[in-house]
Amino acid sequence: MIVSPSLPRAVVGVVVVACVALLWTTRPSHRTSSSGDPPPPSGGNTAAPAPFGKGFLKSIVPKASAPQTNDLSQSQLIAQLLDPKESLTARRAAARALARSGAEDAMEALECVLRDGPAQLKAAVAEALGECPSPGARPLLLALAKGPDETTARGAMRGLAALGDAAASDMLASSLFDEKKSTALRTEAALALGSVREPAALDALTRAVREIRDETILNHVLDGLGHRPFAETEAVFIEFLKRDDSTTASRVAAIEALGHVPDSASTFILGYGNDPNQELRAAAAWALTTADNPGEIGPQLLGWLQQESDSAVRLRLYQALSHQDAIASSAVLPSVQRETDDEARVAGLGLLADTLRTDGNPDASRYFDSTAVAELKNTVLTSGRLDQSLAAIMALDRAGTPAALAALNEIAQHPTDPPCRTAAQQALKHHGGN
């Protein structure tokens, strides 16, 4: 069954397909088969697993990540793209597949959508043209990026980023510095430049950091820079963060942008743990929460947490610690027990739940069940804040202890906000409930 493709489903789809395919490869009847037909179920197959190679995984990932276009012919893709009754998701997926083919009839269909399609579909077409091998794609992209439809123009800018060459970089830089263009377009150009590997793109962003004063655009320039390797942007960030005329809001944006770097900026970010400005400290902790590769910095974060005086920063530190492996609940427990701020406490209890699920520390479990569960349940039922209520439900879900599940069960049946009831019901389902 195909439902609209969201990211998680695509990923899980990959996993499931991988498992199924792996299973098939382990079956003697399938080892040499190239057919896509599933083998009949049978029990008792004890054959040793056969190795699967990179080629196998490679072959299934693109299929699983674009389930809406799997096995469709070019004409079927065109029909899907042009059918207004199809979902936007299906039409966007068809547009991407057609653009990747670059065939003549595909280009005609894409141009048809660009004339008459809804804005978000036109934007998807424009973005997909960045992956199009047809020689007609580039001039079309350049025209769309300058066109009057802003949503499409932003899609075209993302397409130019996918092209990633010097001409695309020039076009994006020109848009970024064009004060006649809207904020939405200029920020899109800044973000797009962040993913263009051309040296000219880095030059444009560096110049923008020095010249642009509009805070919204500047913050997106910093965000764009943050998507480039820290090794090539470190000097720019250092210069900006030391500048006298940098506002706190933009410094916050700069530090948070470092959470996106593809390499690691953890050492640099941790340096802001001692900054007198609590907003910068909170930004640093958040950057370490979002970092792909923060490294093993649990001990440093715990040390920082123990001496942090601002509750908003402690909240972010609990969140950052939740993304660290191998944090012992015994190391977290004292800080959580001392925590007095309501929001930070919910985040701290969420962290404690994470850690005790891993190590099952009896002291932490006892504290969680005897104190935290009732407190989290009370937050859900009385805080009046959906974000806090959901954070509390997630903490109970993470812990998964019998007491936590009993509390979730109560919430699931309580005449409280429907979103909380639904979240509790979903958490219970994860733990085997209904």
Partner 1 sequence: MIRKTIIALVAVMATLLSVAHAGLASGSYTVEFDGNVTLWDLSGTYSEDIGGLTFDYTLSVDPAGKITGYGSANYAGSYGIGIDMTFNLNGTVSTAGSVTRVTLNMVMKGSGLVHGSTINFSASIKENMEIDTDASTLVGTTSGNISLSASGLGSFGEKIPPTDVTLDLPYDMDGTWDLTLTPATRGSKVTGTGQITLSNGSVFGFSITGTYAVRTDLSKIAMKGLPTNKAMSANIVANFSKAGMNVKSLKGKALGQTITYTGGT
- Residues 265-304 touching partner 1, rule: CB under 8 A, are 286, 289-290, 292
- Which residue of 143, 166, 184, 231 would you call a contact of partner 1, by CB under 8 A? 184
Minimum separation from the CB atom of position 79 to partner 1 (A): 18
Per CB under 8 A, 143 contacts partner 1: no
Taking a C-beta distance cutoff of 8 angstroms, is the pair 102, 130 a contact?
no
Q: How far apart are CA 403 and CA 384, in angstroms?
A: 23
Q: Taking CB under 8 A as the rule, does residue 419 contact partner 1? A: yes
- Let me know if 330 is exposed, middle or buried by CB neighbors in 10 A (0-12, 13-18, 19+): middle
Judge contact between 395 and 376, C-beta under 8 A: yes
Q: Let me know: does 282 contact 311? Beta carbons within 8 Å.
A: no
Whether 360 contacts 330, CB under 8 Å:
no
C-beta closer to partner 1: residue 235 or 386: 386
Instruction: Provide the mask over 238-257, with x wherever binding to partner 1 is found by CB under 8 A and - wherever it is not.
Output: ------------------x-
Q: Which of 129, 137, 141, 154 binds partner 1 (CB under 8 A)?
A: 154
Would you say the C-alpha torsion 7, 12, 14, 15 has a positive or negative sign?
Answer: positive
Residue closer to partner 1, measured from CB, 239 or 305? 305
Interface with partner 1 in residues 5-34 (CB under 8 A): 5-16, 18-20, 22-23, 26
Min dist CB 141 to partner 1, Å, is 15
Q: How far is the CB of 183 from partner 1 (least distance, A)?
A: 3
User: In the set 72, 177, 234, 385, which binds partner 1 (CB under 8 A)?
Assistant: 385
**Cα gap 274→176, rounded to integer Å:** 34
Name the residue among 371, 384, 373 with its Cα closest to residue 420: 384
Q: Considering only residues 108, 386, 402, 413, which one is a binding residue for partner 1 as defined by CB under 8 A? A: 386
- Tell the smallest beta-carbon distance from residue 91 to partner 1 (Å): 9
For position 326 contacting partner 1 by CB under 8 A, the verdict is: no
Interface residue with partner 1, options 3, 166, 238, 374 (CB under 8 A): 3
- Taking CB under 8 A as the criterion, the residue among 32, 34, 35, 51 binding partner 1 is 51
Own/partner pairs, 294-301, CB within 8 angstroms, 24+ separation: 294/264, 294/266, 294/320, 294/323, 294/324, 295/264, 295/266, 296/324, 296/325, 296/326, 297/266, 297/270, 297/324, 298/324, 298/325, 298/326, 298/327, 298/331, 300/270, 300/273
Residues 95 and 109: their CA atoms lie apart, in Å, by 9
For partner 1, the closer CB: 133 or 242: 133
DSSP assignment of 341-407: -HHHHHHHHHHHHHHHHHH--HHHHHHIIIIIHHHHHHHHHH---HHHHHHHHHHHHHH--HHHHHH
C-alpha 92/C-alpha 119 separation (Å) is 11
Choose between 216 and 409: whose C-beta lies nearer to partner 1: 216
Least separation in angstroms between CB 316 and partner 1: 8
Question: Among 138, 220, 251, 345, which residue sits at the site for partner 1 (rule: CB under 8 A)?
Answer: 220
Cα gap 308→319, rounded to integer Å: 14
Separation of alpha carbons 433 and 296, rounded Å: 35
Structure tokens at 334: 């004292």
* Stretch binding partner 1 (CB under 8 A), from 88-96, 172-180, 201-209, 364-372: 88-96
Subset of 90-129 contacting partner 1 (CB under 8 A): 92-93, 96, 120, 124, 127
Minimum distance of partner 1 from residue 345's CB (angstroms): 12
Stretch that binds partner 1, among 61-69, 71-79, 106-114, 230-238 (CB under 8 A): 61-69
User: What is the closest distance, in whole angstroms, from the C-beta atom of residue 235 to partner 1 in the complex?
Assistant: 25
Separation of alpha carbons 261 and 269, rounded Å = 11
* Interface segment toward partner 1; rule CB under 8 A; list 140-148, 169-177, 212-220, 328-336: 212-220
Binding residue for partner 1, selected from 312, 328, 331, 403, defined by CB under 8 A = 312
Among 390, 399, 408, 412, binds partner 1 (CB under 8 A): 390
Nearer to partner 1, 96 or 138 (CB): 96
Chain centre to alpha carbon of residue 102: 29
SS (H, E, C) 40-68: CCCCCCCCCCCCCCHHHHHHHHHHHHCHH
- Pick the binder of partner 1 from 66, 258, 301, 332 (CB under 8 A): 66
